[in-house]
Chain A
Amino acid sequence: MGPSWLAGILAAVMILTAIYCVARIVISRTQDRQAENDVDGVHAAMGVAMAGMLVARLQLLPNVVWAVVFSLAAAWFAWRIGRAYLPTATSAATGIEDPLPTGRNHLVPHLVMCGAMVYMLLAASALGPGSGGGAMNMGGSASGGHLPVLALILSVYLFGYAVWETDRIHGLPRVSAQLITGGVASAVPAVALPGGGTVAEAVGSAEVATTGTTSTAQAAMTAPSGDLAEAAAARKPVSPRLEGCCQVVMAVTMAYMLVLML
């Protein structure tokens, strides 16, 4: 159990995070920018669900319904991870392994976070009628022997993920119109490539790969040089650094909620 004022602050942060994730989806759709809409959508749902767990008045749906939602999300990420491990058509044809397997590792934390949500929601539901949401605040009781070791393992994973992601954020590209259209192009020699693309454009595309938000850069690295122009015409990603910050905040908040369940 944590102090209620802290639960209120964290709930507000979660709602802001959810709003931002929805905004990412809207921006990516309306401005034709790259983002993982499934990840953003799940994060938005997580933000709303966690806010409801922290403050009872903010609970939109019953815990069991949320648990079903995150079970489906976990299944989706598990399928995507599994698919990423299968050889791609390109690598099967060429025998060359995909140099930027962005689809594998960066999805695992989302899978774990979905699992953690299911765990927390079911544990909160098991507290019985009346506990409802807000189980994490001072007035409720989140404990009760619901596999506390699992809560500890999940929280340790999330602590590790949070510091790993914080370390990674510094290396993520700052995405701005200047970087993509001017900064990179002016800094890197605009050597013409077959098909009309340039090295500078390819760099701009390849940078995107560090966010794990696109396969365009992978295409740039693996596709025949004639396709580089197409690959280089990558859309700008939606603020990878801010996305990383959201993931850190969400992981730390979730770990805090899990610690309260120990």
Chain B
Amino acid sequence: MSESVVAGTPLTSAAVGWGRPDARRLLQLALAAIWLLDAVLQYQAFMFTKAFGQMLGETASGNPGLIAGPITWDATLVEHNAVVLNTIFATIQLVIAIGIAWRPTVKIALAGSIAWSLGVWWFGEGLGGILTGGASPVNGAPGAVLIYALIAVLLWPADRDAAAPYLAARAVGTTAAKVVWLVFWGSMIFFTVQSANLTAQGLHDMISGMASGEPGWLASAESHAASLVAHNGVGVSIILAIAFAVIAARVFLPIRAAEAVIVLALIVSAFIWVFGEALGGVFTGGGTDPNSGPLLALLALLYWPGLGAATSGRVAAAAPTAREPMS
């Protein structure tokens, strides 16, 4: 505040020392809030027990030896030092959250979140199971933490493309943003139509399995959803794959159609989060994060047409000082 006064900004600017967040900053704050939720979930009692290490060890199953070996080593280490290591894990996530929310440290925190996410993707999620042949977007593939890293890259406070048609393009440029979107949602198609997921009961078993330990209303919703897809796993998976294909095509569509596709992506994200992921298992006491649903929604919002272009002008106007990494 005092800086802007010293810099001789007008009285009105001085009175409003805090630049109201623009769209990108708001999404950065949303990412910070999700990291904060992660941190708090990581501080739950379950995470300080051997069971957490065992849970990590289970992600090695089905992975090639090169990937599984370090996971097993890490899981054993966590099992034997659960309190110390989990305290460190939770605190790192807390620091990342606060770092993103605190404007002067947003870059270093986003960089830290990328590094941490990639580490957790391997050691905590077994690369989201993408090498096991059984990964499904319905239960989080290609891995929630990978999406954290992706969003952190796309929310990086840089402006490579002054005429960015959406927020994601501001940080990495329009072409790179298109490639990211295509590859990501294209991979969702691939995982959906893997042979393990194209079975009559595969989706039913996956959804009904999520009901365990959930409160009554959520368990009931899971059971109903599971009964709806019972014996129709192949058909539902193909419909889901078509939906992912339509979403992937967003980068080739005109604005109106692109908006509709983003709405579709938000709906699919909500469907996955509620029925496939049971809200990340946060009600069970054993959930470490809200899983991929909210991250998919956040990713979709980064590609909302016109969002980046519409606010870029306001960013400069609202920035408290020129040297602050506001967004």
* A contacts, CB < 8 Å to B: 1-3, 6, 100, 138, 143, 145, 148-149, 152, 155-156, 159-160, 162-164, 166-174, 179, 183-184, 187-188, 199, 202-203, 206-207, 209-210, 217, 221, 252, 255-256, 259-260, 262
Contact = CB atoms under 8 A, between A and B. Distances in A.
A207 B15 contact: yes
Contacts of B324: 170
A163 B40 contact: no
Given A3-B48, A163-B33, A183-B2, A100 B43 contact: no
B97 A163 contact: yes
B44 A209 contact: no
Contacts of B14: 188, 203, 206-207
Contacts of B21: 167
B251 interface: no
A160 B35 CA distance: 11
A160 B33 contact: yes
B254 interface: no
Contacts of B83: 3
A167 B21 CA distance: 9
Contact of A171 (B19, B40, B98, B217): B19
A167 B101 contact: yes
Contacts of B29: 160, 163-164, 167
A171 B44 contact: no
Q: Output the residue of B16, B30, B41 with the most chain A CB within 10 A.
A: B16
A194 to B, nearest CB: 16
A91 to B, nearest CB: 18
B235 interface: no
Closest 9 pairs (CB-CB, A-B):
A171-B18, A166-B101, A206-B15, A163-B101, A173-B1, A163-B32, A171-B17, A159-B33, A1-B45
A2 B44 contact: yes
Contacts of B160: none
Given A170-B18, A171-B320, 6 more contacts: A145-B215, A152-B283, A164-B101, A173-B1, A203-B14, A206-B14
16 contacts: A6-B43, A159-B33, A160-B33, A163-B29, A163-B97, A164-B29, A167-B29, A167-B103, A172-B18, A173-B17, A174-B1, A199-B11, A203-B5, A203-B14, A210-B1, A262-B282
B204 interface: no
B25 interface: yes
Contacts of A252: 36, 40
B104 interface: yes
A151 B17 CA distance: 34
A203 B282 CA distance: 47
A259 B100 CA distance: 22
A173 to B, nearest CB: 4
Interface in B15-71: 15-19, 21, 25, 29-30, 32-33, 36-37, 40-41, 43-45, 48
Contacts of A164: 29, 101
A187 B6 contact: yes
B17 A100 contact: no
A138 B15 CA distance: 47
B102 interface: yes
